Amino acid sequence: MMKTMLQPTLNTLYAPVMPLGRNADSSLTKKQDVLNGIRASRIVLILVCIHGTFADSNEDAKPLYYEGPESGDTNNIYLTHSCIHDEILHQRRRTGRKEYSVTPQVYVGTSSEDHHRGRTLLSLPEEVQTQSSAKQPIRIYLNYDAVGHSPDRDCQKVGDIVKLGEPPISSIPGVPFCNPHAYPAVVGDCWYNCTSDDIAGDDKKQRLRKALGHTVQWFKKALAVEPVKGNLRLSGYSACGQDGGVQLPHEYVEEGVKDADLVLLVTTRPTTGNTLAWAVACERDQWGRAIAGHVNVAPRHLTAEAETLLSATLIHEVMHVLGFDPHAFAHFRDERKRRRGQVTVQSMDEKLGRMVTRVVLPRVIMHSRHHYGAYSENFTGLELEDGGGRGTSGSHWEKRLLMNEIMTGSVDTRSVVSKMTLALLEDSGWYQANYSMAEGLEWGRNQGTEFVTSPCSLWRGAYRCNSTQLSGCTYNREAEGYCPIVSYSGDLPKWAQYFPQPNKGKSKM
């Protein structure tokens, strides 16, 4: 997994946090306002070519110096959110847990026969469905019933010991313990010792509702979906989600959910490190579209300071539920609702020297070509980050190519939603995207096919730097930056070596 991140200088640490809008309408443009505001202010961005990227997969290679948050400081304001979606999927596969259940829905233009054939439709090549109906803004329904109601996983008072993952019951209570400041974030089975920061009090609950409310409004503008006819039906067959999940309320199963295309069950359980939140889909309709999901937001990060970062983080995490997920890729459909033959292609890339997974969806390719100015036939698809091991399909765009795009593995306050991400969701066949909701991505713009197909050691001009420099211009000459090259105590993996010295590369943070 490539975890290359921009190096913010001190100025970025204190980026102004814009206030949220006072009403729903003004809040819709909040993120854009915030991002514009941040761009307009003299924020120093480090946008150097990542010359020698650090690989998380190499456990032996530790940076000689390290700029992570100090352990023991409970008031860290993290600059980035590290997503653990790939690790969650990996964990679910490992435990052999059912990834999701299928509950067919009735749609306008769907016959009741199709409805009963739902399960078959998911597993077998289906008849071409020609009827389509107008898509409407997506209705995401938020359920907070589970907030504070899983005693073994929610922090209710200081000193509570709660579960993260599935820790073993050992003879010594609370062992193995979780390191709340683990950096980078780890997904582990451990016992978590609750502090006051981990308790979802009224103020934190209010922030949570406000932030998720904005997320729902954002998606309502960004995506349209074939509306469910009548109530959304859910099976509630098993607990929805991760880490024990959440049991669906009885009435949702018996009566369904009114005016909803997707239900998100919200929890506020602790996480470690700079993982602000995580989310997974847990029920799908007969076409594979997510109809229920579990979203967890850590109370520790429900602070006024983290508001802007949380806003970007929640858009990122809900994107995973909606379709930016290898499980969802398997159900992607074309305009006629036929299952797509190819969503991603994996191949050994000689130029990059490693296995590469590329998204080959038509709209993604079209918007990528346009963004990078990559019109050569050598451009075959947009790279995904590997999913925790080289060659497996991951759930993020490759950082080297998309840098501050919202669907790379780390999110920060400068993250933008590009047309390429909206295109991926539209190529699922489930949604229609409103491309006016996309924000400008500067990274890689008009750099040509070479940029997309080459390792960054072959990049040109301001995209590369060879030695640590305290000051310089960023790739787009809009800001001041520096070049964070460091020496590691161990050698980097072969594919991450760009210098004569095998232990030299970009700083991890």
Residues that bind Zn ion (CB under 5 A): 83, 85
30 sits in which H/E element: helix 30-40
CB of 463 to Zn ion, least distance (A): 24
Which residue number places its CB atom closest to Zn ion?
83
Cα 154 to Cα 5, 160, 162, distances in angstroms: 31, 9, 7
Let me know: does 162 contact 269? Beta carbons within 8 Å: yes
- CB of 78 or CB of 252, closer to Zn ion: 78
Length in residues, the chain:
509
CB of 181 to Zn ion, least distance (A): 21
Exposed, middle or buried: residue 74 (CB in 10 Å: 0-12, 13-18, 19+)? exposed
Which position has the token pair 């929890």?
A: 267
Q: d(Cα 100, Cα 331) in Å, to the nearest integer? A: 13
Reading the block at residue 364, the tokens are: 């993604």
In this structure, are strands 190-193 and 140-143 parallel, antiparallel, or unpaired? unpaired
Helix spans in 228-385 (H): 250-254, 307-322, 326-329, 362-372
Is 320 labelled a binding residue?
A: yes
Sign of CA dihedral 249, 328, 415, 273: positive
Cα 158 to Cα 163, 177, 195, distances in angstroms: 15, 15, 5
- CB of 78 or CB of 191, closer to Zn ion: 78
- CB of 85 or CB of 204, closer to Zn ion: 85
Decide: helix, strand or coil at residue 358.
strand
Decide: helix, strand or coil at residue 36.
helix
- CB of 51 or CB of 85, closer to Zn ion: 85
Q: d(Cα 435, Cα 324) in Å, to the nearest integer? A: 17
CA 442 to chain CA mean position, Å: 20
- CB of 121 or CB of 281, closer to Zn ion: 281
CB of 85 to Zn ion, least distance (A): 4
Q: d(Cα 441, Cα 372) in Å, to the nearest integer? A: 10
Residue 88 φ then ψ, to 5°: -65, -45
Is 331 labelled a binding residue?
A: no
Decide: helix, strand or coil at residue 236.
coil
CB of 57 to Zn ion, least distance (A): 17
The greatest distance separating any two alpha carbons of the chain, rounded to the nearest whole angstrom, comes to: 66
Q: d(Cα 273, Cα 321) in Å, to the nearest integer? A: 22
Is 396 labelled a binding residue?
A: yes
- CB of 226 or CB of 412, closer to Zn ion: 412
- CB of 6 or CB of 83, closer to Zn ion: 83
CB of 280 to Zn ion, least distance (A): 10
Sign of CA dihedral 89, 94, 97, 98: positive
Q: 116, 112, 113, 109: which is closest to 135 by C-alpha?
A: 109
CB of 396 to Zn ion, least distance (A): 5
Residue 289 φ then ψ, to 5°: -70, 140
Decide: helix, strand or coil at residue 401.
helix
- CB of 194 or CB of 279, closer to Zn ion: 279
| Whether 317 is catalytic | yes
Q: 89, 82, 84: which is closest to 281 by C-alpha?
A: 89
Hey, which bits of 255-314 come out as E strands?
262-267, 277-284, 290-297
Q: Which of 87, 283, 317, 383 is catalytic?
A: 317
Let me know: does 456 contact 50? Beta carbons within 8 Å: yes
Binding-site residues for Zn(2+), in ranges, read 316, 320, 396
Catalytic sites, residue numbers: 317
Q: Which residue numbers belong to the known binding site?
A: 316, 320, 396
